[in-house]
Every structure is written in structure tokens, then in C-alpha cells.
Structure 1
Amino acid sequence: MSSPTHTHTRTRSGTQLSEEYIQDSFHSYLKSSLTQAKVERLLDADLLSSAEGDLMITGPALCLYFAALRSTTDPPSVPLPRHNKTFEPTELSAENCPLTFAPFLRVWAHTVPSIQALAPEYQHDLARIICNLEPVSSPLNPVIHGIAADLRAVAIEISQRRSFQDRYAADLQAALDSGNVPSSLAAKKASFVPPPSYEASPPSSVQSSPNTQTLSFPPLSPTYSAGPILHTHDIPPQSPSHLSPYAPRAGSGWPSRSPSPSILSPSSPAMEFIRETLYAALGDALERQPLLRGMLKQDPPRAYFAAVAYAILDVGTTSLTPEGAIVGVLGTPLTLDDCPPTLRRFMLELAAIGRQAVEIQDADDARAVKFASQGNDIPTSRMERVRQMLLEGIGCSSQRRGEEEGRRSVQGKAVAFANRINGLSLALTHLKAFRDRQGQVFEVLAGIGSL
């Protein structure tokens, strides 16, 4: 993993490359990156086939890491595979990058000099940290954590794209098949299944203009019977907090969600309890964040994911007891002991996010007091940058301001914390219990976004 010689090659500028071309190139490299990670034992076949953990983040982050090692230009650009041998090699640069991917390229390019400046053993440690493995070098270079946080943040953004989700299983399968005899009966199969698709379709009962779009939803699982399906006409137009069957209670004390009405009963499974508590918090997020409501009109799936991540932060900071129990929609706490073993890691992570949020807020308050006492302007707080990244992604304006004003920590703590929240959001929303309710929640979100 030694660093290449850094040269000052001029990238080919001109016509903006198409999104499809970039997507094809990315998945070509993703297959080779996953294969190389398998050869180097950073990822094993069992993990690749199960697609468990945060592999949907790890894979793209590894691809970005290997692309950084291959980059030979200044400013950094991505060498793209030739789709036709008659064409000269193409490099993805700021000059020809599609606008959709420009924030990803900017953040990636910022990491390239730091990655290439690392000693080979630290480059290997970076790859291990990306794969959630312990580093082997001692002492550890602290810069590595900040680089890994940035790469994983871009990977999270990529993993939310439907075009990526639809092709990821094939990428995993290509890595699994590498080195295997084609007829081998022992070859593993990738089990990754994309989340439900939400596509624009014309409404059946409302006359609309050519520019009007609504969402169509896949049928819910026939086994789902937790409660009635919500429709947009059930929601009062003046109250976006009525996202779920229960509205948040006014005030700041426990319980932070109204205990009634609710589709849950005191004996409801823990997964339903956690899910409905988070979905109740979505209404609060939409009410407090106009940006989310605007995002619903332009990119509903991205808005849904951002809202869930924001709800995780909200629940983690307002609905957890000191013992780590969740005070949910029924006004009663859900303790760790109440959870089945398969859900305890989610509860523990939610509690850890809540504790870390308190620590960050305390540090922000102390920093604000220090700046104010010195007569200086109070800078954007770390927690505010976290919230903005949850809503807008790694390339958001507040993150850029933090970098430009020199307040970004070497270890990228704000980015790492946003990644932690997004990682839990990805893990939860890919569980069947969440997927079964996503259609209903999307329907309600679409109705709120049109208000």
C-alpha cells in the first residue's frame, strides 16, 4: 500500500462527465477494492456474503481509499477506467465532475495528500480502521482517525443513493467469486437486498400538472399488523408533528413523546417500541428543520434518511434515562433487559450516542464561554456542525466553514460523531421491522412535504 510518486499532471477538462459514466467507473473500482480487501484479509467471505454490520459504508470507503493511493495529480483527481480502448484515459476532476458528485470529490480530494503522506504501515492501519479492525502500529498516528471519518462520511452519502443500492449485491458477489472455481458448490452468495424502492408516479385520484409527482409504495409485508395504515388526509395540514399516530407532547420533560393515542400496547415487542419512538421524533424534526421539508420535494429517500438520523440524535438527547433506558411513546421506559439479545447492541449504541452528545454539548458550552470572555465571536459549535451534516451531508456549508476557519480537529470528531449516528440509522432502517413501516412513513412525509 505504498504511496505513489505525486506528480503534477494536468487533468483533462472540458465537457462535464455524465453521472452514469461515473457510476459505472465507481462500481468497477468497488468490485476490485472489495476483492483486494478480501485478499488482504481486511474483509472475509462470511462478512461479504452476509452484508452485516456497516459493510455498505465500509465498501465505498475502501474504494475511496484505494482511489486516493492511485491518484497522481495535483489537485487530486480520480483516474477512471477506460470503457473504450480507443479513448484516452479520463480523470475525474473538479472541472468535469457532475454537480451531484462535486461535494464527494471535494471531501475526497482533501484527504488525498494526507493519505499519500502516511508511512506504509499507517496506510495499512487506515484501511484496517475503515474496516472496523484494530490498528497494528504503535503509537498510532492520530491523523488516521480524521481521514477515516471523512472517507466513511462520503461513503455514507454514496450508500444512500438508489443507483448504488441496486448494484451493490453484484459488487459483493464479484468479490466473493474472485479466486473461486466457477463450478464450486462452496461459493458463497451475497445476501444483500436493497431497501424498498420509492418511485415517482402520477396520482390516481387527483388531477395534477405535468410537473407534479407523488410517491408510490410497495405493498407492506403481509405479516405486519401493528396498526392501521396512515394516509396523508389523516394529517392536519397545520401540524407537521402528526407524522406518526401520536404527536410529541409540548414541553421538555419526560416523556418527550405523547403516550396516546398509539398503535403500541405495553406488551409490544421492543423493536416496535424503538421504531415507533424514533418515528414519533420525525415529526419534531420536520417541524424544527425547514430544510428537511424542502428536501422532501427534491429527494424524498434522502430526506427520510436524514430525518431518521436527526430523530436518533433527538431521542438520544431527550428520551434516555441515566441508566440507559428509552422513555418512549407510551411514557414508560424500555430497559436493556427488556430487549432481546439481537437488539441490545442497538440500544447500547443509542445510549452511547446520547452520552457522547452531552459531552460534545458541554465542550461547546465551555468553548463558547471562553470565546465570549475574551471578547471574540463565538464560533459555530461542534454540535451544530453535526446537525448540519446529518441534514446536508459531509459537503455541507457549515463543515466547509469549520475547515476554512481552522476549527476542525485532527481526529475529525464532529464528522466521526455524525458518522456514528448515520451508521445506526443505516443499521436500523435496514431491519425488516423498519422496512415494513417505511412505506407508511414515506406516504406521510410526502404529504407533509407538499404543504
Structure 2
Amino acid sequence: MSGAPVLLSEEYVQNCFHSYLKSALTQAKAERLLDTEVLSSAEGDLMITGPALCLYFAALRSTTNPPSVPLPRTSKSSTPPNDMSISNCPLAFRPFLTVWSQSVSTIQGLAPEHQHDLARIICGLQPLAHPPHSGLNAIAADLRAVAIEISMRRTFQDRYASDLQAAIDAGSEPQHRSRVKASFVPPPVYEPTSPSSRSSLRSPSPLPSSGASLRSPSPSPSSSSFRSPSPLPSPAILGPDAPAIEFIRETLYAALADVLERQRSLRRMLARDPTRAYFASVALAILDVSISSVMPAGDASHGEPMIRGVLDKTLTLSECPPELRPFMHELCEIGKMARDVAEDDTLIVVRALNEGKTPPPPRLDRVREVLRGGVGWAYDDHHERDGEADVGRGDSRRRTTSTENRAVAFANRINALALGMTKMRAFRERQDLVFKVLAGVTS
């Protein structure tokens, strides 16, 4: 009787992935989907685009049914498996492989011009075929959702700059290589601390209560149920002339405190996967701010979108410096989309009740679940909720409703903004302190 399949090591799979990632970025540059300037600046959501391209090219190369990932040989003398399948995939990567495998046959079945358009959409470019293929955005959303999960892993972040540099140098003469440097900088490392070291992490001027007090005159009714041992420091720097980036940053971090107060599962996640928990918290904070703090143009006295944030300060789009406007504009657009989704949810509930049917879960709730639980949630009939036990996702079954796919696409948009903001210098400077504060959070 043969034993259970031997799982590949995470380190081996990571090495294979980065080998393919360099090739994917190089090929994208050769096909003019990405140029050297974009690769070197690492602007936009390149942190998502790169892994998504890698998944796209892997789908084209897959030759098995069910789909598996062909693996490169690390040396001539080594004899690794030819493919990574669900049977030998490391447990940590199985949700990624499961979601990716659902797209393989669809990608391979596309006409060549539509395959190329899919790559263009992944890179943020417009499709060229007329009429455009109606299903490409949904496929791209799935690939980008997996890419977001990969990009949140510290092992990926630490190696991504070298992947970008390899693509930049590809095709250049040896004497001209490395003249253009990849400027990608990973976010700060989140290091959980021991109880004995927590006292050193306290701010000299902590908030009088939870972070929620920054956005409302009094704490929320449930504020007594959770306290961080080290509250987020008060944004005393926010004087009348405080930079807009500081205002938005402090507003988001106040919302982050609220998110952690409400989500016990995130506080549990801080212990087992702190980096993932931090990004999930930031993404949920962005969604909260976009709903509660963004005032649509029609409701604002200035006739343009406005954010009402910490210490009851306000900020309009025109008051933002040029380099920050794309971020604030996207935050306002996410708020508008969230309100539209909420209205659709209400109409769907009313329609279902009138027809005597059970209403489906609100799409906005599903968006929050994807942000919190990751891409695997959208394809799993059993997922962790606050107060419930963790459930493995190795045997997850895909959901195929169009509503669910739209929830994943919306979550992708929020995650992309979270990743973009956390790369900005002003956020990185503050993140280091926020990471230390979160290190003291307990269930």
C-alpha cells in the first residue's frame, strides 16, 4: 500500500514561483505590456500585476487534468516532481492552487487574441479585440485575487525587488545592466512581541480610549470589550497645516482600531499570520472609511467629494496635493461603489421577500469576508466567522454566481488601494509604530 503523497516544501515552491515570476515579467516587457519605467518605479498595483501574470502564463503551460503547475528543475542533477498538484501542494498554498485551477480550462479555451487581451487587462490596459470578450474581467479578477494573497506574504515581498530587477536587466548589454534600479521597498516587518517587551511599545501620549474616539465624540458602546495594551498614539501632529497624507493616514488608522475591536477573528489571526491580519485590517478600514467618512459630491458643500475624518477635520479632493489625489479619488470611488452595492443588497432582499424566497447574503458582507478571510473564502462553503472554529479549505468547492465574482472584484479593488497606500513613505513611517501597537493585541 502506498503512503500519502509527500508534500513539496514551501521554500521549494517559492523558489519555483520566483523563477517563473522573473520570466513572466520579462515576457510582459518583451510584449510591451509593461515597460522599464513601470518596472523600476513599481508604481500602481505592480505588486499585484506581477504575480497575476505569473499565474496567467502558468495556466497557459498547464497540460494536466485536473490542472497542475509545471515545475522548473532547480539543477540538472535534481529530480523534483514534474508538476505541483493538489496532492503534493503545501497546505499554505492549496487555496491559491484551487482558485487558480478553476480558471485554467477557461484561459486555455480562449482565442489567442482574447488570451492576449486577458494579459492586457491584468496589466491595467484596455483590450484590443472588437467586440471585447465579456468574460475576461471575471477571469482577471480571480487571478488578481490570488495574486493579492501572494503579494501579502513576506517571503514574496522580500524577493520582489530582485524579480523586478531581473526583468529590467533582461535584454540589456552586460555593461548597461543595473543602471536602472527597481525602487520597490517592502513594507515594515510585523514582529509579534513577548509580554515582557510590550511596555516599551507604549506611546508617550496615548489616546484616552480606543481609536474609535478619534472619529466620534464618545467611544462606541462595545469599546469596553476590547483594548489594545498600547493604544494608537494620538495624532497631535494634525494641526491646521498638517499635510493631507497625515490626515488620511490617521483617519485610516483610527478606523483600523475600530476594525480590530469588532473582529475577533482578526485578533486571532494576528497570532498565526500577523502580516496577513494587518493587510486585512487595513483593507477593512479603507472600506469603513469609504462608507462612513466619505461625503459624496452631491452631499458636500464644496460640490466635490470630501472626507470627514479624525478630530472632525475635513478634506476635499481639490485640497489634496497632486501626488495624493489618485489615492483619495480611488477612496471616494470605493465609497460610491459601496453605497451602490448596499442599495442593490436592499433591493435584492425586498425582491426575495416579496417572492417568498430566502434572501442571499448581502454582497457587501461577502466583500468583507473576502477581505478578512482571503480569496479562498469565495470558493469555500465553510469559512471562519467570528466566534466559530477555523475550518480547513483544502477541499473547497467553487461558487460560480455572478454576484460572488463581483464581490471578489470589489475586494480586489480595495486590496489594491490598501497595498498602494502601505507602500507610500508617509504610511511606512507610521506603520512601524502601528505594527508595534498591534503586536500587543490579544484575543
* Pairwise TM-score range, normalised by the shorter structure: 0.7 to 0.9
| Preserved contact between residue 191 and residue 435 of structure 2 (Cα < 8 Å) | no
The CA deviation at 1:331 is: 1.0
The CA deviation at 1:55 is: 0.6
Q: What is the rounded CA distance, in whole Å, between the counterparts of 1:286 and 1:269 in structure 2?
A: 26
Equivalent residue, structure 2, for 1:425: 418
Matched, 1:306 2:298: no
Matched, 1:170 2:138: no
Consecutive unaligned residues of structure 1, counting only runs of 5 or more, are 1-11, 207-213, 218-228, 253-259
User: 1:156 aligned to 148, 151, 173, which one?
Assistant: 148
Q: What is the rounded CA distance, in whole Å, between the counterparts of 2:174 and 2:234 in structure 1?
A: 57
In the superposition, relative to structure 1, how do residues 285 and 417 fare at CA in structure 2: closer, same or farther (>3 Å)? same
SS at match of 1:75: coil
Task: Give matches, 1:261-300, under 5 Å.
Answer: 262-263=235-236, 264-300=238-274
Matched, 1:346 2:314: no
Q: What is the rounded CA distance, in whole Å, between the counterparts of 1:365 and 1:273 in structure 2?
A: 33
Number of residue pairs the alignment of both structures matches: 408
User: 1:355 aligned to 336, 356, 363, which one?
Assistant: 336
Matched, 1:369 2:350: yes
Equivalent residue, structure 2, for 1:328: 309
Question: Deviations for 1:308-357, whole angstroms, at most 9, x for unmatched residues?
Answer: 11011001011111221000112132011211011111111000000001
Matched, 1:198 2:176: no
Equivalent residue, structure 2, for 1:92: 84
The CA deviation at 1:142 is: 1.3
The CA deviation at 1:198 is: 2.7
Equivalent residue, structure 2, for 1:230: 203
Q: What is the rounded CA distance, in whole Å, between the counterparts of 1:317 and 1:244 in structure 2?
A: 15
In the superposition, relative to structure 1, how do residues 143 and 399 fare at CA in structure 2: closer, same or farther (>3 Å)? farther
In the superposition, relative to structure 1, how do residues 397 and 32 fare at CA in structure 2: closer, same or farther (>3 Å)? closer
Equivalent residue, structure 2, for 1:246: 214
The alignment yields a C-alpha RMSD, in angstroms, of 2.7
Give the structure with the larger helix fraction: 2
Letter in 2 for 1:441: V
Q: What is the rounded CA distance, in whole Å, between the counterparts of 1:439 and 1:176 in structure 2?
A: 30
Question: Deviations for 1:367-396, whole angstroms, at most 9, x for unmatched residues?
Answer: 111222222222122111110011111111
Question: Deviations for 1:279-313, whole angstroms, at most 9, x for unmatched residues?
Answer: 11012111221111111111222111111110110
Question: Deviations for 1:395-448, whole angstroms, at most 9, x for unmatched residues?
Answer: 11676579969662189311111011001101111101001111211122122x
TM-score, scaled relative to structure 1 = 0.84
User: 1:62 aligned to 53, 57, 60, which one?
Assistant: 53
Q: What is the rounded CA distance, in whole Å, between the counterparts of 2:200 and 2:268 in structure 1?
A: 19
The CA deviation at 1:248 is: 4.2
User: 1:409 aligned to 383, 402, 405, which one?
Assistant: 402
In the superposition, relative to structure 1, how do residues 79 and 284 fare at CA in structure 2: closer, same or farther (>3 Å)? same
Matched, 1:140 2:114: no
| Preserved contact between residue 215 and residue 446 of structure 1 (Cα < 8 Å) | no
Q: What is the rounded CA distance, in whole Å, between the counterparts of 2:418 and 2:336 in structure 1?
A: 17
Equivalent residue, structure 2, for 1:188: 180
The CA deviation at 1:61 is: 0.2
In the superposition, relative to structure 1, how do residues 186 and 16 fare at CA in structure 2: closer, same or farther (>3 Å)? closer
Equivalent residue, structure 2, for 1:3: none
Equivalent residue, structure 1, for 2:11: 20
Q: What is the rounded CA distance, in whole Å, between the counterparts of 2:144 and 2:169 in structure 1?
A: 25
**Higher mean Cα deviation, 192-201 or 284-293?**
192-201
Equivalent residue, structure 1, for 2:289: 315
SS at match of 1:139: coil
Matched, 1:29 2:1: no
Q: What is the rounded CA distance, in whole Å, between the counterparts of 1:399 and 1:202 in structure 2?
A: 34
| Preserved contact between residue 146 and residue 411 of structure 1 (Cα < 8 Å) | no
* Over 4 Å off, 4+ runs: 200-203, 214-217, 233-236, 247-252, 397-407
The CA deviation at 1:181 is: 0.7
| Preserved contact between residue 152 and residue 419 of structure 1 (Cα < 8 Å) | yes
Question: Deviations for 1:160-207, whole angstroms, at most 9, x for unmatched residues?
Answer: 11100111111111111111111127842211111222335656x46x
Equivalent residue, structure 2, for 1:6: none
In the superposition, relative to structure 1, how do residues 132 and 261 fare at CA in structure 2: closer, same or farther (>3 Å)? closer
SS at match of 1:330: helix
Equivalent residue, structure 1, for 2:101: 109
Equivalent residue, structure 1, for 2:223: none
SS at match of 1:199: coil
Equivalent residue, structure 1, for 2:369: 388
In the superposition, relative to structure 1, how do residues 186 and 444 fare at CA in structure 2: closer, same or farther (>3 Å)? closer
**Higher mean Cα deviation, 120-129 or 364-373?**
364-373
In the superposition, relative to structure 1, how do residues 215 and 438 fare at CA in structure 2: closer, same or farther (>3 Å)? farther
In the superposition, relative to structure 1, how do residues 38 and 250 fare at CA in structure 2: closer, same or farther (>3 Å)? same
In the superposition, relative to structure 1, how do residues 361 and 100 fare at CA in structure 2: closer, same or farther (>3 Å)? same
Q: What is the rounded CA distance, in whole Å, between the counterparts of 2:71 and 2:4 in structure 1?
A: 14
Q: What is the rounded CA distance, in whole Å, between the counterparts of 1:348 and 1:136 in structure 2?
A: 27
Q: What is the rounded CA distance, in whole Å, between the counterparts of 2:114 and 2:70 in structure 1?
A: 23
The CA deviation at 1:364 is: 1.2
Letter in 2 for 1:417: F
Letter in 2 for 1:246: L
The CA deviation at 1:230 is: 2.3
In the superposition, relative to structure 1, how do residues 425 and 125 fare at CA in structure 2: closer, same or farther (>3 Å)? same
In the superposition, relative to structure 1, how do residues 342 and 168 fare at CA in structure 2: closer, same or farther (>3 Å)? same
Matched, 1:442 2:435: yes
Letter in 2 for 1:278: L
Consecutive unaligned residues of structure 2, counting only runs of 5 or more, are 221-232, 298-304, 384-395
SS at match of 1:334: strand
